[in-house]
A = this chain, B = another copy of it.
Amino acid sequence: MNSNYKTLKQECYEANMELNALGLVIYTFGNVSAVDQDKGIFAIKPSGVPYEVLRPEDIVILDFENTIIEGKLRPSSDTKTHAYLYKNWTDIGGIAHTHAMYSVAWAQAQIDIPIFGTTHADHLTSDIPCTSPMSDDLIQGNYEHNTGIQIVDCFKEKGISHNEVEMILIGNHGPFTWGKNAAKAVYNSKVLETVAQMAALTLQINPNAPRLKNSLIKKHYERKHGKNAYYGQ
C-alpha cells in the first residue's frame, strides 16, 4: 500500500488481529488503536469491518481532533474516546476496547474488581475501577468524547495513575485498556479478562473472600515492575 503511515497501520492491524486470536471479541465487538505522539496522529480499526476480512490498508489515520488524515473507511464508533485519551495521556502508545465476557459482566454488575490474588497484583496494585453510569446530559451530548473525559476524571478522583493501572471498566459497557504500545494494550485486555474470571469464580466459591493483603500486593508488583524487579529478562 502507498501510505505515509505504513508502520503504524501495520502495528494497529496486528494488534486488532491478536485481539481476535485471543478470543476477546466476536464479530466486530472491539477495536484497537496505535498512536504516533510526535506526529499527533493515531491509527484505528475501521467501524463494523469483520476481522476475517480486515487488511492493514483498511486502518484509518486520524488526528486528536478526530479529523481523518488518511483512509477511505469510517473509523471505529469509539474513535473519540481513543482521541481524548491520547490527547490527555501523552505517554501511552496504544488502546484496546473489547466486549469480552467476564470484563463486561463486571462492568454490567457495576462493581470494581477486587484485588484477590497475585495474578492481579503482578499487573496492578489497586482494584480495577468501574465507572458509574454517565449522566443523561453527557450521554445525549458528545457521547464517545465524554467517555474519554469520564475515564480521565475517574483516575483523577481515585488518585490512581494510568501508568500503573492500565485498564478500566466503563459501567454497563465494557473494558478499555492501554499500554506503551498497541500490543501491550491487547495484552492488558487479556490479563483483565483473566483476572475478571478468576475474581468471579473466587466470589462464587467464597462470597466472603478477603482482599489480598498489602504486603503481598506490594511484593508481587515490585518484583515485576519495581526498581529491583527480578521478573523477566
Contacts and interface: CB of A to CB of B under 8 A. Distances in A.
A77 B187 contact: no
Contacts of A216: 133-134, 139, 172
A73 B109 contact: no
Contacts of A118: 99, 172-174
A48 B119 contact: no
- Number of identical monomers bound together in the oligomeric complex: 4
- The residue in A47, A107, A109 that gathers the most chain B C-beta atoms within 10 A of its C-beta is A109
Interface stretch (A2-10, A88-96, A199-207): A199-207
A215 interface: yes
A68 to B, nearest CB: 13
Contacts of A194: 26, 99, 101
16 contacts: A28-B232, A29-B119, A47-B230, A47-B233, A77-B230, A77-B231, A99-B194, A101-B198, A102-B201, A104-B119, A108-B199, A110-B206, A133-B213, A140-B219, A172-B212, A204-B204
Q: Which 10 pairs, one residue from A and one from B, show the smallest C-beta to C-beta distance?
A: A48-B232, A105-B201, A109-B206, A109-B205, A108-B202, A108-B116, A136-B215, A108-B117, A139-B215, A118-B173
Interface of A: 26-29, 46-49, 73-74, 77, 99, 101-102, 104-111, 116-119, 133-134, 136, 139-140, 143, 172-174, 187, 190-191, 194, 197-206, 209-210, 212-213, 215-216, 219, 223-224, 230-233
